[in-house]
Amino acid sequence: MSTRSLQRRLIAGFGANTFSRLSTTLTQIFSVPVFLSHWGVHLYGEWILLNTIPSYLGLSDVGFGSVAGNEMTMLAAAQNFEQALVVFQSVWVLTTVITSLIGLLLIAAVWFLPLGAWLHVHAISPADTKLIVLLLGLAVLLGMQETLFQAAFRCVGKYPLGTMAKSLVVLAAFLSTMLGVGMHLSPVPVMVLYVAVNAVGVLALWILLRREVPWIRFGIRHAQWAVIRRLTGPAFSYMSFPLVNALNLQGILVVIGHVMGPVAVVTFNTARTISRSAAQGMNLINNSIWPEMSAAFGVGAMDVARMLHRRACQISLLLCLGITLGVAFLGDWIWRVWTVGKVPTDPVLLNIMLLQMVVSAFWFTSSVVPLATNQHQRVARAMLTATCLALVLAWLLLHVPSLGLRGAAIALVAGDVFTAFYVLRESLGLLRDTLGDFARSMLDLSPLQRLWRRPKLPLANEE
């Protein structure tokens, strides 16, 4: 039984994440014309509306699946598979209980509440509306089991395999939906097809998991309430990050809309979308190094952890700088072409948003360290505080006539500067790294092949 090198795992993880991102992007692009051409705008709009409601049920695991994955990866890297199984079964029991209770509440809500009237749905009958929401809600709750499946794949260094398998299930569900729409099926049969493919996908993932990680077993024998209690703090803190993301993306638009109106919202959102061109690449980097960071901490391989952090931050920074320079030269042209000349350009606003992207490259990538090791509570509080203060500052600066929308962008930069300082300090402390050594590593432009000559990170159960 051989151990794959760190290089091979990182490349495989990056490839799997790239495939996942491309699959998601393609489904979003191609689904719109298919739905519109076969169902029309009105029916498609109601379908989207009904699909948004159950999607919020996915938040009901309150981050337990993610923190369990970190814990299991650190334990498995240290060869402590018995305790990793304890964590798995403990969180599985909790997840199953939560999803069962929510499922019962969902059934009661769908049965008694006039959802169709509340949502002003007319193209879909009230009975079909209830059935669609119920089916999709149950599918979302069933999908919460997959979070633990992915945790089990991660903990033995098979994160790329789990990610690819999950992506294939998502792709199969999308293709089945497109097939149903293309066959002119009504919304209910299309939803039944979608849910059936997802259910089969969950079963297939479970079979694959049992084959690849045989020591993982479902049950309650090894579950411990003490484990759930210990993971509660990190799990609830983990939920701060979706909130911070929502406040960053949507909260600032609400503030701008309140102060300056909808036209300003469109202008600001256009500048932000163009400036965030590097965000997808940074996400790929984070997702690829996450399991390796957990494993490195699990075996105490701090040299590997420091190397991963430095190189990931360096790559993210170079990526952001490269894209920033390109957008700085072409952004005005991209803006005019993309908006068909209907949204007035503001090069200064765009440049400020590009500066924010470069600043965020530090904290966004560096945040993997506390997140991957379940030591993110202080970081979560700091980020939430910085985001709220940035929104308040944006509201104040928007009232300055000479700044306008640029004031909102400056406020976001200020929030990211504070966040970058705090997150970087926390990460360097966890890594036992110094700011001087870290800064010098950012300026070290020697070939990144040095990364692959570092010691391999031992993970058991790898083939």
8 A C-beta contact, residue 14 and residue 95: no
Q: Say if residue 324 is exposed, middle or buried (CB neighbours under 10 Å; 0-12, 13-18, 19+).
A: buried
The C-alpha atoms of residue 459 and residue 158 are separated, in whole angstroms, by: 10
79: helix, strand or coil: coil
Please say whether the dihedral angle defined by the alpha carbons of residues 214, 215, 221 and 227, taken in this order, is positive or negative.
Answer: negative
| DSSP 8-state code for residue 249 | I
8 A C-beta contact, residue 283 and residue 25: no
The C-alpha atoms of residue 321 and residue 332 are separated, in whole angstroms, by: 17
Structure tokens at 390: 């940035």
Q: 419 vs 97, 239, 251, 365, 384, CA distance in Å? A: 36, 17, 17, 12, 9
8 A C-beta contact, residue 391 and residue 411: yes
* Distant-in-sequence, close-in-space partners of 396: CB < 8 Å, separation ≥ 6: 407, 411
Strands (E), 199-253: none
Q: What is the per-residue pLDDT for 117?
A: 77
Q: What is the per-residue pLDDT for 463?
A: 37
Q: How far is CA 234 from the centre of its chain?
A: 17
8 A C-beta contact, residue 50 and residue 129: yes
8 A C-beta contact, residue 390 and residue 341: no
The residue assigned the tokens 């920074």 is 317
Task: Note the maximum CA span of the chain.
Answer: 67
Q: What is the per-residue pLDDT for 461?
A: 41
Q: What is the per-residue pLDDT for 267?
A: 82
8 A C-beta contact, residue 377 and residue 235: no
40: helix, strand or coil: helix
Q: Say if residue 447 is exposed, middle or buried (CB neighbours under 10 Å; 0-12, 13-18, 19+).
A: exposed
119: helix, strand or coil: coil
| DSSP 8-state code for residue 60 | G
Q: What is the per-residue pLDDT for 172?
A: 92
Report the alpha-carbon angle 186-46-258, nearest 5: 165
Q: Which amino acid is at 12?
A: A
Per-residue pLDDT of the chain (463 residues; tens, 9 = 90+): 334 567 777 788 888 888 887 887 777 667 878 888 888 878 887 887 787 766 666 655 567 888 888 899 999 888 899 999 999 999 999 888 888 888 898 899 888 888 777 777 788 888 888 898 889 888 888 888 888 888 889 888 888 888 899 999 989 998 999 999 999 899 999 999 999 999 999 899 999 998 998 888 888 888 888 988 888 888 888 877 777 877 777 788 888 888 888 778 878 888 887 887 777 778 888 888 889 899 899 888 899 899 999 989 988 888 888 888 888 888 778 777 766 676 777 888 888 988 888 888 878 899 999 999 999 889 989 999 999 999 999 999 999 988 888 999 999 999 999 999 999 999 999 999 999 999 888 887 664 555 445 444 444 444 3
Query: How many Cα atoms occupy the beta-carbon half-sphere of 436 within 13 Å?
Result: 0
8 A C-beta contact, residue 7 and residue 452: yes
The C-alpha atoms of residue 193 and residue 66 are separated, in whole angstroms, by: 29
